[in-house]
Amino acid sequence: MTAKMTDTRIDLATHLDGAALPQGLSELLALVASACVDIRKVVSGGALAGALGASGSVNVQDEEQKKLDVISNDILTDQLLASPLVAGVASEEMDNCQPAPHSGGKFLVLFDPLDGSSNIDINAPVGTIFSVLAAPEGDITDASFLQDGRKQLAAGYVLYGGQTMLVLTTGNGVAGFTLSLDGQWLLTHPDIKISADTKEFAINMSNQRHWAQGVQTYVAGCLQGVEGGRGKNFNMRWVAAMVADVHRIMMRGGVFLYPWDKREPNKPGKLRLMYEGNPMSFLVEQAGGKSTTDGRAAILDVTPTELHQRVPVILGSANEIDIIADTCGV
C-alpha cells in the first residue's frame, strides 16, 4: 500500500484555521512546528550532522548537555525570538528566560528542546515538548513564565521516531500530524483519545528501591499479573524519552510514572513542571486521560514557584490512574 498524500489531506494551518484561537496563535504554532522540522533534519543527520555526543557543558540542573540539546535549543530560541509574536522564551537548557529583543510580542514559549537526549547516540526516539502562555504586560522576566498549567494556551510535542509526528492541543481535544516526505504537517490523527483502561505501565524499574511504599505496592500488583489481586497480566515499556512513552499512551493507553523518590527528597521528582509536566498534562487531560503528582492532585493545579521546578509525574489511562491513587492511599 502506498502512503501517497492527496490534496484532500488537512495540513496544520488549515486545521488551526478552523479553531477559534487567540490572534496570532496559529502562526506561532506553525513557527514552532517549522523549527521542529529543522531539528528533525539534524536528528536524522546524526553523525553526519555533527549531532552525536556530549557538548562539554552542563545545564542548570547540572546535567551533561548533549550536542543535540544545545543545537535544538539554539534552533528554537533563534527562530522564536525573531518572531514579533514572541515576547520571550524559556528552556530546560537555559538558566534564565530570554526576553525578545523587540516589544509587543503576545506569547511566551517554554520548551524542552530535545527530550530523551540520552537516546540520540543510540538512534532511538527523541522529541521536543513545548508550552505556550500569554505574555503579561511589562518587562519579561523569569517570573512572567510562572503561570499555572491551566493557563496554557497551547501545548504539544514532536516525536522524532520512525515517523515524525506533532501532537498538539489548543484546549479543544488533541490532534496528531505526521510530517510528510515533502515537509508538510498533515493531519493523520484528528481526535486522539487515551483509552480509560490499560494493561501496560512504564516506569524506570532500576529506581524501585527508592520509591515510596504506595508506588512499590502498585507496581508489585502489576508484576503479580493474573496471580495477584489485579487478576490480569501487565506489560511494561520504558523508552527513556518521555515524548515516546507519552505517545505510546496516546496511541494505545497505558500509564507512565516518574514518581517522587527518596534519593533527593528536596527535588520532588526528576521531570520539570514547566517544560514537561505541564505541557504533557494539558495534552493528556485533553485526550481524556489523567495526570497527577501522586494519583490525585492534578499537575495542572501545581502552582509554579521556579522556572526549573521539578514535579513527580503519574499520567495516562484514567481508570488506571484512579487505581494508582487508591493504591498509593493519598
Q: Which residues are annotated as a binding site for Mg(2+)?
A: 92, 112, 114-115, 276
| Residue ranges binding ligand F6P (CB under 6 A) | 115-116, 204, 240-242, 245, 270-271
- List CB contacts of 63: < 8 A, sequence separation 6 or more: none
204 binds, among ligand F6P, Mn ion, none (CB under 5 to 8 A by kind): ligand F6P
Q: Segment 86-115, which members bind Mn ion (CB under 5 A)?
A: 112, 115
Q: Which three cell numbers stand for residue 268?
A: 520532588
3-class secondary structure, 305:
coil
Closest approach of Mn ion to the CB of residue 91, in Å? 11
d(CA 61, CA 95): 9
105 binds, among Mn ion, ligand F6P, none (CB under 5 to 8 A by kind): none
Closest approach of ligand F6P to the CB of residue 23, in Å? 33
Q: Which three cell numbers stand for residue 287?
A: 485526550
Q: Rank residues 307 and 323 by Cβ distance to Mn ion and give the closer one.
A: 307
Which of 128, 136, 143 is CA-nearest to residue 80? 128
Cα Rg of the chain (Å, integer): 19
Residue 328 has phi, psi (to 5 degrees) of -75, -10
Residue 248 has phi, psi (to 5 degrees) of -60, -40
Q: Rank residues 25 and 109 by Cβ distance to ligand F6P and give the closer one.
A: 109
Closest approach of Mn ion to the CB of residue 14, in Å? 30
Q: Which residues are annotated as a binding site for substrate?
A: 115-118, 204, 270
Is residue 245 a contact point for Mn ion (CB under 5 A)?
Answer: no
Q: Which three cell numbers stand for residue 109?
A: 514559549
d(CA 291, CA 117): 23
Closest approach of Mn ion to the CB of residue 152, in Å? 17
Per rule CB under 5 A, count of chain residues that contact Mn ion: 2
247 binds, among ligand F6P, Mn ion, none (CB under 5 to 8 A by kind): none
